[in-house]
Amino acid sequence: MNHNAANIFGYKKYWAQRFGPAPELPMSMQQMQQLGWDACDIILVTGDAYVDHPSFGMAVIGRVLEAQGFRVGIISQPDWHSAEDFKKLGQPKLFFGVTGGNMDSMVNRYTSDKKIRSNDAYTADGSAGRRPDRAVNVYSHRCREAFKNVPIIIGGIEASLRRIAHYDYWSDKVRKSIILDAKADLLVYGNGERQIVEIAHRLAKGENIHDLKGIRGTVHFVKQVPLGWMEKDSTDIDKPGAVIVHQSPYQEQPACEDKPKTSGDEKVIQFKPIANKQRAQTVIRLPDYEAVKDDPILYAHASRVMHGETNPGNARALIQRHGSREVWINPPPLPLTTPEMDGVFDLPYSRLPHTHYGKSNIPAFEMIQHSVLIMRGCFGGCSFCSITEHEGRIIQNRSEDSIIREIEAIRDTSPNFTGHISDLGGPTANMWRLACKDPEIEASCRKPSCVYPGICQNLNTDQTPLVKLYRRARKLPGIKKIFIASGLRYDLAVETPEYVKELVTHHVGGYLKIAPEHTEQGPLSKMMKPGMGSYDRFKQMFDKFSKEAGKEQYLIPYFIAAHPGTEDKDMLNLALWLKRNGFRADQVQAFLPSPMSIATAMYHSGKDTLHKVGRNVPDMPIPRSVKQRRIHKAFLRYHDPKNWPLLREALKDMGRADLIGNGKQHLIPSYQPKMAENPLDKSQPNKRPFTTKYNGIKTKSSPPKLRRSK
pLDDT tens for 161-197 read 999 999 999 999 999 999 999 999 999 999 999 999 9
Q: Are 249 and 528 in contact (CB under 8 A)?
A: yes
Task: Please report the pLDDT score of residue 675 as a whole number.
Answer: 67
pLDDT tens for 115-167 read 999 999 999 999 999 999 999 999 999 999 999 999 999 999 999 999 999 99
Q: How confident is the model at residue 704 (pLDDT cuts 50, 70, 90)?
A: very low
Task: Please report the pLDDT score of residue 248 as a whole number.
Answer: 40
Fold of the domain built from segment(s) 1-217:
Rossmann fold (3.40.50)
Task: Please report the pLDDT score of residue 278 as a whole number.
Answer: 75
Across the range 677-688, mean pLDDT stands at: 46
- Residue 335 clears pLDDT 90, i.e. is over it: yes
Task: Please report the pLDDT score of residue 677 as a whole number.
Answer: 52
Percent of the chain with pLDDT over 90: 85
Task: Please report the pLDDT score of residue 483 as a whole number.
Answer: 97
Q: How confident is the model at residue 690 (pLDDT cuts 50, 70, 90)?
A: very low
Beta-carbon contacts of residue 635 (< 8 Å; ≥ 6 apart)? 561, 571, 572, 574, 575, 647, 650
- Residue 409 clears pLDDT 50, i.e. is over it: yes
Across the range 86-112, mean pLDDT stands at: 97
Q: Are 592 and 107 in contact (CB under 8 A)?
A: yes
Half-sphere exposure of 407 (CA within 13 A, CB side): 29
327 forms beta bridges with 221, 320
Beta-carbon contacts of residue 89 (< 8 Å; ≥ 6 apart)? 26, 27, 28, 29, 32, 40, 43, 73, 75
- Residue 608 clears pLDDT 50, i.e. is over it: yes
Task: Tell me which of 472 and 272 has the higher pLDDT.
Answer: 472
Cα–Cα distance measured from residue 346 to residue 241, given in angstroms and rounded to the nearest whole number:
51
Instruction: Output 465-469 pairs: Cβ under 8 A, ≥24 positions apart.
Output: 465/400, 465/432, 465/433, 466/430, 466/432, 466/433, 466/499, 467/496, 467/498, 467/499, 467/502, 468/400, 469/374, 469/400, 469/403, 469/424, 469/432
Host H or E run for residue 97 = strand 95-99
Q: At what angle do helices 497-506 and 464-474 cross, to 10 degrees?
A: 20
- Residue 114 clears pLDDT 90, i.e. is over it: yes
CB atoms within 10 A of CB 473: 20
Cα–Cα distance measured from residue 482 to residue 37, given in angstroms and rounded to the nearest whole number:
41
How big is the CA angle at 615 (ends 612 and 618), to the nearest 5 degrees? 80
Q: Which residues of 640-660 are buried (b: 16+ CB within 10 A; e: fewer)?
A: bbbbbbbbbebbeeeeeeebb
- Residue 654 clears pLDDT 80, i.e. is over it: yes
- Residue 436 clears pLDDT 70, i.e. is over it: yes
152 forms beta bridges with 96
Task: Please report the pLDDT score of residue 277 as a whole number.
Answer: 67
- Residue 5 clears pLDDT 80, i.e. is over it: yes
pLDDT tens for 281-296 read 999 999 999 999 999 9
Beta-carbon contacts of residue 156 (< 8 Å; ≥ 6 apart)? 46, 57, 99, 100, 101, 102, 136, 192
Host H or E run for residue 232 = strand 230-233
* Three-state secondary-structure class, residue 353: strand
513 forms beta bridges with 556
Task: Please report the pLDDT score of residue 398 as a whole number.
Answer: 98
Beta strands per DSSP E along 407-485: 420-421, 423-425, 481-482
Average pLDDT over the chain, rounded to an integer:
90
pLDDT tens for 238-250 read 877 543 333 343 4
Cα–Cα distance measured from residue 206 to residue 209, given in angstroms and rounded to the nearest whole number:
9
Q: Are 184 and 220 in contact (CB under 8 A)?
A: no
pLDDT tens for 456-482 read 999 999 999 999 999 999 999 999 999
- Residue 220 clears pLDDT 70, i.e. is over it: yes
Q: How confident is the model at residue 1 (pLDDT cuts 50, 70, 90)?
A: very low
Task: Please report the pLDDT score of residue 680 as a whole number.
Answer: 52
Task: Please report the pLDDT score of residue 237 as a whole number.
Answer: 86
Q: Which residues of 320-342 are buried (b: 16+ CB within 10 A; e: fewer)?
A: bbbeeebbbbbbbbbbbbbebbb
**Among the ranges 575-589, 630-644, 689-703, which has the highest mean pLDDT value?**
630-644
Helix-, strand-, coil-residue percentages of the chain, each rounded to 5: 35, 15, 50
Task: Please report the pLDDT score of residue 679 as a whole number.
Answer: 52
